[in-house]
Amino acid sequence: MALLEVKNLVVEIPNRRGSLRALNDISFSIEPGEILGVVGESGAGKSLTGASIIGLLEPPARVAGGEIILQGERIDHLGHARMQHIRGRRIGAIFQDPLTSLNPLYTVGQQIEETIRAHLPVTSAEARRRAIGLLEDTGIPAAAQRIDHYPHQFSGGMRQRVVIALALAAEPTLIVADEPTTALDVSIQAQIISLLKRLCHERGAAVMLITHDMGVIAETCDRVAVMYAGRIAEIGPVAQVIHEPAHPYTAGLMASIPDMSQDRERLNQIDGAMPRLNAIPSGCAYHPRCPQAFDRCSRERPELMAAGATRAACWLHDAHSAAEVGA
């Protein structure tokens, strides 16, 4: 059984004139222990997908259709209290800014110990021992002393290590990490990603890793979902998606990976911009930017279809398009 199944997820954001569809018919699954990357330019819908799963969509955004199933249990319509329990115990969350996850008024030890005790049947002495162990595992020097420090006493990179310890504290089976290194110094981004990967692997936790960085995906993930304008454009094993991208958008993202000797920058090398939610183009939303678009692409919207070893929402992979492409 898949650890997580997202089926036909729709997220809407009501506005004065009705509502905007920010996520449309998103379906994917995550297997136990797997690292699934979610990639795409700013505005693709990556964060909304993550927020839907952890039950932290910010109103007025709301799940308007579909199902989110964690270990066989539907979690998309649960109340606040039940979801809060699932969030600590079964799903851990890591956000871009470590200060989002940490309370400035409590020591990091108090926060990790409280999370452990809220979810696991252990004594306070055992919770403290485990908290120190977690901080040691995340590479925080002198963990037995630093555990009594407040979040502001840590550097940005060390704080994100604390957040990883906190996310893992209740031994969740899934970690949703939304751009966990974007706010950090470039020199420590790779360390934090490889730490996250190692710790989750050791504990058998699956990860949904949201990033705009194809380089991070290539180095870290087992499979990847490429998002564009609120839909999945392509999904498949990382090696295949990277080496033989089936969707021209994926190919564009790949071409935008900067030279490894340079600092990574935000993706900016595909001509044009992601459409606004109130102006999604007809047919395939990518067609106005697509170098391989043909007539059908502006008329009909492609669903995900088999494309070599991946699945892509692109008419190039439809047998009936062959004549038109060739024409």
Residues at the interface with ligand ATP (CB under 6 A): 13, 22, 40, 42-48, 58, 61, 212, 277
Are 236 and 224 contacting, i.e. CB atoms less than 8 angstroms apart?
yes
**Residue 294 in 3-state DSSP?**
coil
Buried b (16+ CB within 10 A) or exposed e, 133-151: ebbbbbbbeebeebbebbb
Nearer to ligand ATP, 9 or 61 (CB): 61
How far apart CA 209 and CA 226 sit, in angstroms, is 12
How many other β-carbons are positioned within 10 Å of the β-carbon of residue 238?
20
The phi, psi pair for 42, rounded to 5°, reads -55, 130
Query: Residue 311 has what DSSP assignment?
Result: E
Are 107 and 153 contacting, i.e. CB atoms less than 8 angstroms apart?
no
Instruction: Give least dist CB 13 to ligand ATP, A.
Output: 5
How far apart CA 193 and CA 202 sit, in angstroms, is 14
How many other β-carbons are positioned within 10 Å of the β-carbon of residue 188?
17
Place of tokens 């190039």: 316
Which segments of the chain does DSSP mark as H helices, in order?
Answer: 46-54, 80-89, 98-101, 108-119, 124-137, 143-146, 156-168, 186-203, 214-220, 238-243, 248-255, 295-299, 322-326
Q: Sort 27 into a burial class: Cβ within 10 Å, 0-12 / 13-18 / 19+.
A: middle
Query: Residue 90 has what DSSP assignment?
Result: T
The phi, psi pair for 241, rounded to 5°, reads -65, -40
- 18's tokens: 């009705």
